[in-house]
Amino acid sequence: MFGLMDQFRRPTGRRGRFVAALMNRGHKPLTLWGLTHVKIEPDYVILDVGCGGGKTVSRLADKAPLRKVFGIDYSADMVEYSKKLNKKLIAEDRVEIIESSVEKTGFSDDFFDLVTAIETYYFWPSFSDAVQEIRRVLKPGGHFLMVNEMVKDGVYDVRAAKTIEQAHVDLISLDEIRNTLEAVGFEDVQIFTKSESPWNAVLSKKH
Ligand SMILES: C[S@@+](CC[C@H](N)C(=O)[O-])C[C@H]1O[C@@H](n2cnc3c(N)ncnc32)[C@H](O)[C@@H]1O
C-alpha cells in the first residue's frame, strides 16, 4: 500500500499519522462487527490496547458514558494522534490515552471490566506474556475481546503471504489463540468468524 506496509506495526511520524487516519476509517466495519460480540454496560471501565489512531476509544466511550475508557499504544505518535482525536472526551475526563506497552500496561490488578485489542495482537513480542498482563488488569468476571481481519487458517495466510510478510505480521491460528488464553487462565473462550471472510473475534472471560 504505497510503501506504507511497514507502518502498521508501530506507526511513526508523518507516514504513521497518515496510516492512523487510514486505520480509523478502514477498520470501522471490522470494529463495529467485532464489538457486537460483547455486551458493554454504560458504567464499564474499558482499556483498548494498541489503540492506534484512537477511534475505537471514542466508540467505546459512547457505549460506556458513565465511567472511563483508556487507550494505550507504544507509539508516542499514536498517543499524540489519539489524544487529539479524543480531545473533548479527555477534557470531560471520560478518556485517557497513555504511552505504554501491552506487556507492561502499568495499571493495577482487577481494574477493567473490558479490554479490547483490534488488529494488534500479531505485532506483540509475546502473545502469552501480553494476555497474562491483560488478565491481570481485568476484574474477575471481566472480558477480553480481540478482533482481527486476518487469520492463520492455511488458506488466507497463504493467499495473503506477501502482505503478511511486508507488514511484519506474526499470525497465530485460532486454536493456538484459544490454547494460550486457556493456558494463562481465561475461561469461556468463544471464537466468532464472519462467513466468507477472514474476520474473527475472540471473546474470553476472567473468572
Ligand atoms: C494495525 S494498528 C491497529 C490500531 C487500532 N487498534 C485500529 O484498529 O485502528 C496496531 C497498533 O498496535 C500498536 N502496538 C503494536 N504492538 C504493541 C505493543 N506491544 N504495545 C502497545 N501497542 C502496540 C501499534 O503501535 C499500532 O498503533
Question: pLDDT digit string (tens) for 148-168?
Answer: 999 999 999 999 999 999 999
Distance 145 CA to ligand 1 centre (A): 15
Higher-confidence residue of 42 and 2: namely: 42
Q: Say whether pLDDT at 69 is over 80.
A: yes
Distance 83 CA to ligand 1 centre (A): 15
Q: How far is CA 156 from CA 99, 159, 161, in A?
A: 33, 5, 8
Q: How far apart are CA 16 and CA 206, in angstroms?
A: 34
Atom 4, ligand 1: residue with shortest CA distance: 52
Atom 20, ligand 1: residue with shortest CA distance: 101
**Residue 98: enclosing H or E segment and its boundaries?**
strand 95-99
pLDDT at 3: 73
pLDDT at 1: 55
86 lines ligand 1 (CB under 6 A): no
Distance 103 CA to ligand 1 centre (A): 12
pLDDT band at residue 6 using 50, 70 and 90 as cut-offs: confident
Query: For 12-52, what is each residue's pLDDT tens digit?
Result: 999 999 999 999 999 999 999 999 999 999 999 999 999 99
pTM over 0.95: yes
pLDDT at 90: 98
pLDDT band at residue 5 using 50, 70 and 90 as cut-offs: confident
Domains (ranges, CATH) in the chain?
A: 5-205 (3.40.50.150)
80 lines ligand 1 (CB under 6 A): no
In sequence order, what are the residues at sequence separation of 6 or more whose Cβ sits closer than 8 angstroms to the Cβ of residue 103?
Answer: 124, 125, 126, 129, 130, 133
Specify the residue for cell string 489524544: 83
Strands of the sheet with 200-205, listed across from one edge: 95-99, 69-73, 46-49, 112-118, 138-148, 200-205, 187-193
Specify the residue for cell string 494460550: 180
Give the amino acid at 202.
V
C-alpha cell at 186: 481465561
